A and B are shown apart, each in its own frame.
Chain A
């Protein structure tokens, strides 16, 4: 059925007054636009936490991409571990077509590199393994017997030691390393199951000694430059060096693509600060993180990474296993609902769906659940605490002060914020302070509009700027009014600040509150 669960429905007569009370409070805050204005009551406007959807076989058609966008997708992610350039190109073109057709919504494109994944080899048929059984991994290519299979990585033998725990697919099966020869590793099965072709392998507590960007990844990066994607998500980043290397390459290619580092290897943890400093954002890739490190460390690291990113004004995405059960079931488990609520409360910019939308049976429902849970959770958050590093995150003291105080002002007055930006800087800065109203970011760069789709609370809108600031303001307000994002008589805060003033004559910073 086509039930899209984007509406919060009243549940019982008793529950209604409660809801009305909440709605009243929300209306007071003018957080939501009037939902009766049909064409603009799209989820992107009201929900602040963004949704990244991985596009795959379940969703790579025109119809599904449109539907996903309507269900709440803000960023489309291509996973380069699967598919080929032709299939990814098709998706990129579809997303661009969507963006060109749709005035009131923009989808950013993220390309996720494969990275140095260690995988087992191809098997003609799955092997059943029982606990206690002996099993061998070999670096010799093309081996597939019931007791031995190849591994795609030559240094595998050097990286593991007897006593190491080897995990398949993040712990679905596990092996204890017993002994090794120069080309094979003998193991004992600890958790059995069905070993299928090309499974992902991890060694508990260790990262493979491989470069973060492989030759295939460089090919994929070139592909991304050619197709002008908005973000790279770089797998298995272990230090800042690789980020610098990639950024330098992008600069030389004249590509304006932001780099999101995936925090997923044990080795990255000691270098967290420098890695995040070098990048434009981070992704908490909990799958491998929980395989290389004890699984109970993951929630603590998640909070730490979110806090670190937020203190530095970088985007942060929480990923992996968010609605895993929805790959096969139409309803999430209670734990999964709780998990999304946690990520939203911790202040992540975005939450991500992987297999749920790529090859799951209920991609639209999964996106719908994320939308509803995020919306509901945001309504329970009280904002407005002064960050401890006020004025230091962006090394641009004046703009930061203006962003912070504009946030405070819009919070106390209960208004949305309007900002004009050519580089996206001021919009990101405002997002950093998490105002309770929506940030309407007007930009005259399509590229920037698309990029801003990832940031919490930002609703990016494309508009030509005129030479006259006052005229541009008027145009912007007219657009907002026309789209039903603000109502007549509503007050909004307009922020003018940033490193390069858009209108030379008005090089001062200012915040103003206007009645529409």
Chain B
């Protein structure tokens, strides 16, 4: 991919996509979007560029780790990458949330708990170094809430402890299942086989630190904010009105992380209120029995699709690649299943943030996505369940029908691409929701909408200034794309727009 400088009169498109289109044509483009969590292994400019070239659509910042200065540095590098090298990498900021978790182990990468050892969990903070076999806990009510005999699960069962004694702020626990303790790991406690949810369930979803992080995100102009441990739609609505007041015109998308029992109970209303959802399987598997996670994932993906919200499958997709250059076969099968479920995006966490092979992990996601998408088209698999109607106003219903029909026509006629002209991006997501066989070229006037569309399945977002006159828009697009070698005469295209209620089918002149 070569560097492309911004040309305000022309068209802006991702350099990688452009190169792919030129070399291999329409069908070759990847439809499933990829998110990489940025951490120590990938925060340099060259490393970020390598990820962008490898197919990263969204860069994720995990506010559990790192200082704001560090995050600011990454955000600026990504922005520079977009400006100088012609990418459209969006930035997602992931809040820490206020569920119970361990402290940061005083800078150590991990600590090992052995069978039969007694560890102290405490709400005291340590100024100097962490005493041996002692873990600080983020939740002040911890020592009061737990009882002797409770079982303490770290990261959903990676390590287990039994509470044996309470001494003031300290809780002595016996390790019953050995394993590695990682910094800021999730803690849950269980009593008589049930998850304990008493006063700890009353913790606010967005903590005071999260609000400061959100202000930071607004100031730095991130594209998405992912909210941890969402329990109800209320908190999403609250955050959205806060963002609307602070940032100019709702430019930040809110992603609800589905990782608690409450969020599964209120799934529909939460997804309806947010701009997308993330299946955060790590913590979800800590709160519900692990074997229920695959079914929960399936359901969340389906609900998001039905309600036209992008959905991200996250956590432990390629866990073994933190250490090894090749994934286990189980991981490949898992990634292929997420692609088959036609989720919008796949996410790397530790694999790209702190792993030894971030580029290789990204390559695995890319090649598996491409292969499964091709298989899907070749097998001519089509959805068994028709999409429910979602439009509330009459004009919304018209847009929805137009997009459904355009996608159906695209499949039946075997067109090369669907062009959609949209200022808000809504029309593009409606086409994406139908998961047509061909790629969707989404033309939009603002760079921020363009970046946000980069999260959605099958969309190739372009920035282009266009007018109300579709005829001239199309001619302008054709000549610009032709001059860049991205389409050629004779290609069959379907065009829709949110200005004109029509579907046009035409060959590129």
Contact = CB atoms under 8 A, between A and B. Distances in A.
A369 B290 contact: yes
A4 to B, nearest CB: 13
Contact of A332 (B290, B368, B372): B290
B481 interface: no
Contacts of A9: 193-194, 289
B193 A295 contact: no
Contacts of A302: 333
A216 to B, nearest CB: 26
A334 B314 CA distance: 10
Interface in B140-166: 155-160
Interface stretch (B202-210, B279-287, B470-478): B279-287
Given A9-B193, A11-B194, A171 B326 contact: yes
B186 to A, nearest CB: 13
Nearest to A171: B326
Name the residue among A331, A369, A372 with the largest chain B CB count within 10 angstroms: A331
Contact of A295 (B177, B294, B324, B327): B327
Given A11-B195, A330-B158, A334-B315, A342 B291 contact: no
B291 A337 contact: yes
A296 B332 CA distance: 7
Given A1-B176, A302-B333, A376-B292, A331 B156 contact: yes
Name the residue among B315, B335, B336 with the largest chain A CB count within 10 angstroms: B336
B291 A376 contact: yes
B80 interface: no
Nearest to A174: B325
B329 A300 contact: no
Given A171-B326, A333-B319, A334-B282, A298 B333 contact: yes
B318 A11 contact: no
A342 B160 contact: no
B179 A339 contact: no
Given A11-B261, A299-B336, A338-B337, A1 B177 contact: yes
Name the residue among A10, A11, A297 with the largest chain B CB count within 10 angstroms: A11
Name the residue among A172, A338, A343 with the largest chain B CB count within 10 angstroms: A338
A368 to B, nearest CB: 10
A137 to B, nearest CB: 19
A317 to B, nearest CB: 13
Name the residue among A299, A324, A325, A369 with the largest chain B CB count within 10 angstroms: A299
A341 interface: yes
The range of chain B's interface size is: 35 or more
A328 B195 CA distance: 26
Nearest to B265: A14
Name the residue among B158, B180, B331 with the largest chain A CB count within 10 angstroms: B331
A397 interface: no
B448 interface: no
A337 B261 contact: no
Contacts of A332: 290
A400 to B, nearest CB: 27
Contacts of B335: 335
B329 A287 contact: yes
Interface string A180-193: 00000000000101
Contacts of B399: none
Nearest to A320: B329
B193 to A, nearest CB: 4
B337 A191 contact: no
Contacts of A297: 371
B467 interface: no
B290 A377 contact: no
A38 to B, nearest CB: 19
A330 B113 CA distance: 13
A221 interface: no
Contacts of B288: 11, 15
A337 B316 CA distance: 11
B375 interface: yes
Contacts of B195: 11-12
B364 interface: yes
B157 A330 contact: yes
A434 B225 CA distance: 46
B336 A296 contact: yes
A338 B261 contact: no
Interface string B349-373: 0000000000000001001101110
Interface string B260-281: 0110010000000000000001
A70 interface: no
A321 interface: yes
A131 to B, nearest CB: 10
Interface in A296-355: 296-300, 302, 320-325, 329-343
A14 B178 CA distance: 31
Contact of B332 (A3, A11, A298): A298
B364 A11 contact: no
A377 B295 CA distance: 8
Given A12-B261, A376-B295, A290 B177 contact: no
A15 B296 CA distance: 13
Interface in B286-316: 287-295, 297, 315-316
A451 interface: no
Nearest to A373: B291
Contacts of B327: 295
11 contacts: A14-B265, A167-B326, A295-B368, A329-B180, A330-B179, A331-B155, A338-B293, A342-B294, A343-B333, A376-B291, A376-B295
Ranked 4 nearest A-B pairs via Cβ: A171-B326, A339-B330, A335-B334, A299-B336
Given A299-B337, A332-B290, A342-B294, 9 more contacts: A12-B197, A14-B262, A296-B364, A321-B329, A331-B158, A331-B290, A333-B320, A340-B330, A373-B291
